[in-house]
Structure 1
Amino acid sequence: MEWLTCGSGYLAGMKLGDRPLVEYTRDRLHREVQRRFGSDSLPDSYELTTTYTPGGQPEQQHLNHPQLNREYGYDEGGRMVRISGPQQTREYRYSEAGRLTGVHTTAANLDITLPYATDPAGNRLPDPEFYPESSSTVWADNRITEDMQYRYRYDRYGRLTEKTDRIPEGVIRM
């Protein structure tokens, strides 16, 4: 395998022998604007193009498989408020302090809001709506063990080792 880099050291592509595996095109700010997997002669090759807002945030991503296209929306403060595509939309809500308070996801087979409760310092807490029996104001060892979307496991050093999805199968992840 051969790694191809441009003059500034950014990854420009990888190939195996003479066969290109992936190629990256960057703009003058070195942001990725195009990623091509495979070659034009292969039926399973695809191309991802990315555009950016004037502030440098991803604005749109388009694939040659339109069902996977995405558009990103931001509020006046630059916080991401929406990721939308043909199969799924996620809307992000924030407190006045700018902390994430919830995510609303809609898809053909799903319409769910996942709240995020926090203490004044911004640490996540068990949400009282979904954990009414919990009087906890902290997570043991300051590690979240579960929320409405995932279950988390950690090794003895506190590193996340497993993240299990609790949302029904068949949901498209973005």
Structure 2
Amino acid sequence: MGTRGLTKVVDRNGVTKVAQYGQWDHYPSGQGVNVLNFLLEEPKRVHKLELALDKCEFVSEDVSEILYAEYSNKYPDNEEMDRFTMVMPAFSRDTGSDILKVVYYSAGKVLLTDSSDFENDDLFCEGVYEINYQTNKFISKYGDVVAEFPLNNLPEETDYLLAFAKQEVNA
């Protein structure tokens, strides 16, 4: 069973540009560290990701279902569905926080599904990892623990994980 969650990016105007549901590893040492390491990977990554948000476009649930149906009619076996995940990663529950790489590296429009509502699912949404350009913060929520870090002063992985350990001890 997976640890489900959300990878979210909010632009400087407060508009959600990415809200990617993920099925796997939405605990701080999983998807949280993945987001953190993505942001720390190269100088100016935080700024360049913000510029890439213009490529993001949410599509309706109807459109995403049509895309999925067209592909599964064309390629009915499971192996071909793996190919769909490669071609349209934004429509896969397996992509998780790697959606940030899709947005960052894509040359053209990035079609996305808006899973923002999943953040409010107290039963099934176990972790939310948000890059918020309006507040200039990387916000990680796991269970009842919330850790916030300035985008211009992100912690190293050890300090990031320590923030969750400290809050759990103090709770």
Looking at secondary structure, tell me which structure has more helix per residue. 2
TM-score (norm 2): 0.26
Task: Choose between structure 1 and 2: higher strand proportion.
Answer: 1
With normalisation by structure 1, the TM-score equals: 0.25
Higher relative contact order (CA 8 A, sep 6+): 2
In terms of Rg, which structure is larger? 1
